[in-house]
Amino acid sequence: MQLYLPIADIPVNVLLVLAMGAAVGFVSGMFGVGGGFLMTPLLIFIGIAPAVAVASVTSHMAASSFSGALSYWRRRAIDPLLAFFLLCGGIAGTGLGVWFFVLMRSVGQLDLVIAVSYVVLLTAVGGLMVYEGIRAIRRTNRGEVALAGRSGNRNWLYALPFKVRFKRSKIYLSVLPVIAIGVLIGFIGAVMGVGGGFILVPMLIYLLRVPTSTVVGTSMVLTLVTMLIATVLHAATSHLVDAVLALILMIGGVAGAQFGARAGQRIRGEQLRLLLGLLVLAVGIRFAIELGIRPAELFTLRELGPA
């Protein structure tokens, strides 16, 4: 079933795009991440221009994170105050990221920046998650009770001023590291075309000691707002958001996410983290290989538009 995409200007198989949306949605529902780091490369793979892919995926992620955030909100698993401070940083970071994106695109090194940041971030985060996951599984197999996340020692971040009591997360913490993390995630998200959930969730857990009960829901609020802003910004500046493509992805994605969330509840937490770590690591290694080997085609072509 072919359908012509009005902005991407190519015909695609609707069922294929639906299936891709569902598959990525399944993964994102299972692990509580946006899945942009999988969706964007997949779209590029089926022939959609990278800029259109990045721009359209933003609205797809807004949809899936909104449906996720709603269900977390009902379960009171979102910390509104924490989300607010993350957003303050996130919006500033997104602006910085878009500026950097435009700058790198104009000097022709955007592909390199995207590839290098994928390699560095995905291998580092994936590697850490795999390492941590294997350790946790070993501990449980040895019969030890896994350390409760919150009993760990308070790090230096807790010594910073401007402390605020985050009631729902039950932490008393300075707003500075929260805003800084927001800036970083916003920046990374705008440059790499991802929501950043896969980096934000571990950062909140390991650095800020936010309890796992509120971390996924709160990170979804950040993804939702930054992706909504990114959609409007992309549409207003580059006119590259393909609403038809986005709608197909959304429908597949939100359906897949529901089944993914159910599947995720049947798997133990540490195994889940190990699986996500392996997935992130695999995508990172794939980008690394691509950078290192001699490409079959040394030349690339990009349209500058009719002007």
Partner 1 sequence: MARRPASLRALVAAALLALLVPFAAPARAERLIVSVSNARVTVTPNYSGGELVLFGAIEKDHPAFTETAKYDLVITVLGPRSSMVTRRKERKFGIWINTDSREFLMVPSYLAVFSNRPTDAIAPLEVRRRQQLGISHVLLTQRIGTDYADVVADDQFRKAFVRLLEDRKLYREDAAAVKFLTPTLFRTGIPLPAEVPIGSYDISIKLFAAGELLTETDTSFEIAKIGFEQFVATAARQHGIIYGLVTALMALATGWMASIVFRRD
CA 263 to chain centre: 20
Cα separation, 160 vs 227, in Å, equals 30
- Shortest spacing between CB 217 and partner 1, in angstroms: 13
Region of 61-69, 95-103, 184-192, 196-204 interacting with partner 1 (CB under 8 A): 61-69
Region of 78-86, 143-151, 195-203, 296-304 interacting with partner 1 (CB under 8 A): 296-304
Other beta carbons within 10 angstroms of residue 155's beta carbon come to 12
Q: Which of residues 137-166 bind partner 1 (CB under 8 A)?
A: none
Tell me: does residue 194 bind partner 1 (CB under 8 A): no
CA 228 to chain centre: 14
Other beta carbons within 10 angstroms of residue 263's beta carbon come to 14
Q: In terms of CB distance, is 143 or 295 closer to partner 1?
A: 295
Tell me: does residue 11 bind partner 1 (CB under 8 A): yes
Tell me: does residue 266 bind partner 1 (CB under 8 A): no
Amino acid at 41: P
- What is the size of the binding site for partner 1 (CB under 8 A)? 64
Contact at 8 Å (CB) between 174 and 164?
Answer: yes
- Shortest spacing between CB 176 and partner 1, in angstroms: 30
Tell me: does residue 62 bind partner 1 (CB under 8 A): yes
* Cα within 13 Å of Cα(49), Cβ side: 18
- Choosing from 250, 274, 279, 283, the residue that interacts with partner 1 (CB under 8 A) is 250
Residue 148 DSSP symbol: P
Region of 8-16, 154-162, 175-183, 187-195 interacting with partner 1 (CB under 8 A): 8-16
Beta-bridged to residue 3, according to DSSP, are 12
Tell me: does residue 292 bind partner 1 (CB under 8 A): yes
Cα separation, 232 vs 99, in Å, equals 15
Q: Is 232 exposed, middle or buried (0-12, 13-18, 19+ CB in 10 A)?
A: middle
Tell me: does residue 111 bind partner 1 (CB under 8 A): yes
Which positions lie near partner 1, rule CB under 8 A? 2-4, 6-7, 9-11, 47, 59-60, 62-68, 70-71, 74, 108-109, 111-112, 116, 227-228, 231-237, 239-241, 243-244, 246-247, 250-251, 254-255, 257-258, 291-295, 297-307
